[in-house]
A and B are shown apart, each in its own frame.
Chain A
Amino acid sequence: MEYDKFIGKYVGRTELRVDAYGKVTGRAKYSADLAPKDSYVAKVLHSTIGNGEVVSIDIEEAKKVDGVVGVFTCFDVPDIEFPTAGHPYSLDPGHRDLCDRHLLNKRVRYYGDDIAAVVALDEVAATKALKKIKVEYKEYPVFTTAREGLDKNATPLHPNLFKDNVIAHIDFKTDKDFDYDKAMEEAKKQYGAENLVEIVKNVKTPLISHSHLELPVSYAYVDTNGKITVVASTQIPHIVRRCVAHALGVPMGKVRIIKPYIGGGFGNKQDALYEPLNAWLTTKVNGHPVLLEISREETIVSTRTRHRMDADIKGVCTKDGKLLFRKITNYVANGGYASHGNSITAKCAGIFKNLYKNPMGCSSEAYTVYTNSPTSGAMRAYGVPQSVSFAETLADDLCFKAGLDPYKFRMDNIVEEGFKDGGNVFYTYGLKDAMKIGHDHIKWEEKREKYKNQTGNIRRGVGMCCFMYQTAVWPISLEVSGVRMILNQDGSMQLQIGATEIGQGADTVFSQIAAETTGITFDKVYIMSTQDTDLTPYDSGAYGSRQSYVCGNAIHKCGQIFKKNILEYAIHMKPEYKVEDLDVDNNNVIIKKSGEVILTMAELATNAIYEKDGLNNHIHAEASIETTTNTFASGCCFVDIEIDMKLGLITIKDIINVHDSGTILNPALAIAQVHGGMSMSLGYAMSEELLVDEKTGRVLNDNWLDYKIPTAMDSPDFHVEFVNMKDPTGGYGNKALGEPPAVPPAVAVRNAVLNATGCMMNEFPMTSQRLVAEFKKQGLI
């Protein structure tokens, strides 16, 4: 298929990663690599109860341990409750993130809550001291699920904020008067009861750990200028600065956050995690550097997770395949603290409603509830993997029951081009083309036919899943991004941005966009990979698949100003030309029409800085943009699986993701990004699940042996295709791609299981145990 696409000199082409050399030689430094050798080591004491209060803490024995510098408890921290979510601040008080935690907490809301910290000369001393701290608790009954949290008898975890545990209750409706039962009556009248098919079911999605390889490390010190400085593995340095200032009760200018290379984040580091505590600890030890390197176990339990959701779903279609109306009530366990609060639930609810045309309406209701379990926050695709676990299993179940083809059903009922929801618009629409590509790749009809009426232990199935996804977060939140370009004396460019490289390849595509826009070649663009709130312009950071859209557009804008500044200086040197006659290409100022070179960039730059012409012209440009558009990305996954029924083992025989993400800025990096998302989704499909003990709230599998992310042996080869068309809203026409790959594979696999076995698996992950139990229940084994 041919589309109006953008392929420039750099944008739209594969360039090798700008940070690859540093990363393959081990020279790329991450936070822990940079910590001063004489740093003190901090360790955190976590609660060993799931719900209650710290009555007293005895630290006398701990303080006596050789090498201990200080022991600090929840009774010592400032009485300030602060927010942690990686959202821009809102001037509207009603839209601000909830302030619901102290640096260390007397009120224990989950098993693993932070209640004290030790600072010591080394790790062994800190660990020994932790063991000597004696804590006396008052305990309350533990509730770990959203439904339990809604019970009137559940202790309110944040009584100063809410009288119950409900963070939010929403109901997004296509029409405020929509009522499922009324719609049913109406449908019966219109189509006849015998022509309707209904599915009523419950779907559960798992609590998931991001499992980035680098732990959320930070070290903090007070600099010579009095600034509280935190070097941290974070996706959102500017937001962390605000959260740290808030938590410590100091002005923002007094806080500096530095972000070196980071070893993955996937949304976990889109939260202020231990940076505020670390910032406070250094102030308690005279500003000496303090390294706070939490363990893998602590990362799994005490940072953030993907929300566990439990949804009652129903929907009705006609026997000939028209989807009529749907309703979902989603119970979302948020854990002990709000973190991103209701926003993830809301995104989940919105996509459920929007993914299909709802000729007779839809209600997407949800409760976000505090629970005594690990705090859930942002994780790659922000509630949308769960959303399609509801919408796309419902679609297939309806098809199965009605004997319809799921591909054709989607072609007929799925969201159409130009769809609008508030400020979000489906401008370029590649969803159906993506489906066509996936359908052809997997040989849909042929396999559906072949896989009919199977018996025996080895069975095959094909399945699919679609999604749509907002690009960036406007209009829900502010979208701004700042960029600075500086011309070096040799004609190369310094590129400074506030947006963060977290592994996704942002620095590389930013360099490509800068080169494309300015005419300075890619190899002469030096991007500053370290974000430093004292040095780099403001940007809210890596989340929401926003950076290549928002920061990309800011670079586009800044690049145009930068080029104009260069050309204005060029006519100072060559007064015979006018700015509009000239251009920059391949590090030269050229005459637009003829392409003739009149100045090299090095000549121009050297002259601009050193010429005593009274202009004092150090050529640079700055731009900051606020984005006020949003465009939907979309796509799908198709999969062909084999099941060993008696052992409940699923093998992926073929899998393809097709993405409608506008211009593909760098195909090789885009493909790699999609691979990673697909892998993550297969973990969600089959093996990943944090288990929380119902009685105590303790996480049972807080390590990588028992929490099972896919290994190389569990990972098939992935196919990736793009519907590559230029979107009208962006500088180069790109849409979201960072998060979407992690959305559809899990449900495609689930729907393939349905195709293979007739079993509707409604609890993720589909572990062997769950599959075997279902196959037995259905009498298949």
Chain B
Amino acid sequence: MAKHFVKMNVNGKDVEVAVDDRESLLDTLRNQLNLTSVKKGCEVGECGACSVLLEGRCLDSCIYLSMWAEGKHIITVEGLTDENGELTDVQKEFIKQAAVQCGFCTPGFILKAVELVGDNKPYSREEIKRLISGNLCRCTGYMNIVTAIEHAIAHNMKKLGIDYKVSSGFSSLEEKEDSLEEKAKELYKKY
């Protein structure tokens, strides 16, 4: 089978990969570029675990041919942290709001959340649920994921000077947001 060189920008770096015509973008990212945060869950575009940002939009990489990625900008979760290991607001909120459990769907959800934050729109909880409905999760019931995304959007809205109210997050917890913020800072230091 024919192989072609495909040039793309992955996580900010220009790469040129010899791609078998038959490869999905999922295959190429995982097997050739070792970007294993891109997960295989169903191979037919039903679960969103293989989501990547392609030109800023989430796509299921399992049903996207690598041949089409020529000249495209692709971001995976590996590409979100800066060189100091600083996390994005989305990642921090996923940790703080306990939106991570087994972690297998997490990269896909995080990329979807990054896309939504990038829309610069004050999405409501219901809109968020609609916009993440292409990603399946079996651990969380989605509740904390939606809350984490709301909080991440809130950080961005604050920067943009737009009024935006988030739901309470851990309403039934005795601890308050501040102490969690402290704990989060400690956690990020540990790594």
Contact = CB atoms under 8 A, between A and B. Distances in A.
Interface of A: 13-17, 19-30, 32-33, 37, 124, 210-215, 261-264, 266, 293, 295-296, 502-505, 523, 667-669, 671-673, 675-680, 703-705, 709-713, 715, 717-721
A118 to B, nearest CB: 18
A24 B129 contact: no
Contact of B100 (A14, A24, A673, A713): A24
A215 B40 contact: yes
4 A-B pairs closest in CB distance: A26-B37, A503-B102, A263-B104, A679-B141
A705 B46 contact: yes
13 contacts: A21-B187, A24-B77, A28-B103, A261-B102, A296-B43, A503-B103, A668-B173, A675-B140, A703-B46, A704-B136, A712-B137, A712-B146, A715-B141
Given A25-B78, A710-B142, 10 more contacts: A16-B96, A19-B103, A28-B103, A32-B36, A213-B137, A668-B180, A675-B141, A679-B142, A717-B143, A718-B143
Give the one of A25, A27, A214 with max B CB within 10 A: A25
Nearest to A673: B101
B178 interface: no
A382 B44 CA distance: 30
A293 B184 CA distance: 36
Contacts, number: 207
Contacts of B188: 21
B100 A20 contact: yes
Interface stretch (B53-61, B64-72, B105-113, B115-123): B105-113
Contact of B91 (A24, A671, A673): A24
B176 to A, nearest CB: 10
Q: Give chain B's interface secondary structure class.
A: loop
A300 B175 CA distance: 41
Given A14-B170, A30-B104, A703-B46, A21 B95 contact: yes
B110 A24 contact: yes
Contacts of B137: 213, 712
A669 B153 CA distance: 23
Given A26-B36, A212-B138, A705-B46, A14 B104 contact: no
B101 A704 contact: no
A24 B170 CA distance: 20
Nearest to A505: B101
B98 A671 contact: yes
B145 interface: yes
B49 interface: yes
A523 B87 CA distance: 19
A502 B130 contact: no
A16 B184 contact: yes
> Chain B, interface size: which category?
35 or more
B187 A20 contact: yes
B41 A214 contact: yes
Contacts of B83: none
B6 interface: no
Contact of B42 (A24, A27, A667, A703): A703
Given A33-B36, A266-B138, A671 B173 contact: yes
A17 B95 contact: yes
B186 interface: yes
B47 interface: yes
A21 B185 CA distance: 12
| Listed residue (B78, B129, B133, B139) with the most chain A CB atoms within 10 angstroms of its CB | B139
Contacts of A32: 36, 40
A712 B112 CA distance: 13
B139 to A, nearest CB: 5
Given A17-B95, A20-B94, A721 B172 contact: yes
Given A16-B180, A668-B173, A704-B47, A709 B103 contact: no
B136 A263 contact: no
A14 B41 contact: no
A715 B46 contact: no
Nearest to B174: A667
B36 A29 contact: yes
A271 B74 CA distance: 38
Given A20-B94, A24-B77, A712 B145 contact: yes
Given A264-B104, A503-B101, A25 B91 contact: yes
Contacts of A717: 125, 143, 146, 167
Interface centre among A21, A669, A675, A713 (most CB of B within 10 A): A21
B172 A15 contact: no
B140 to A, nearest CB: 5
A17 B104 contact: no
B186 A523 contact: yes
A264 B139 contact: yes
A263 B44 CA distance: 18
A136 B104 CA distance: 40
Contact of B133 (A676, A705, A709, A712): A712
A264 B31 CA distance: 23
B100 A293 contact: no
B142 A715 contact: yes
Contacts of A21: 87, 95, 187-188, 190-191
B107 A26 contact: yes
A639 to B, nearest CB: 14
Contacts of B190: 21, 523
B156 interface: no
Contact of B106 (A24, A29, A37): A24
Contact of B98 (A25, A672, A679): A672
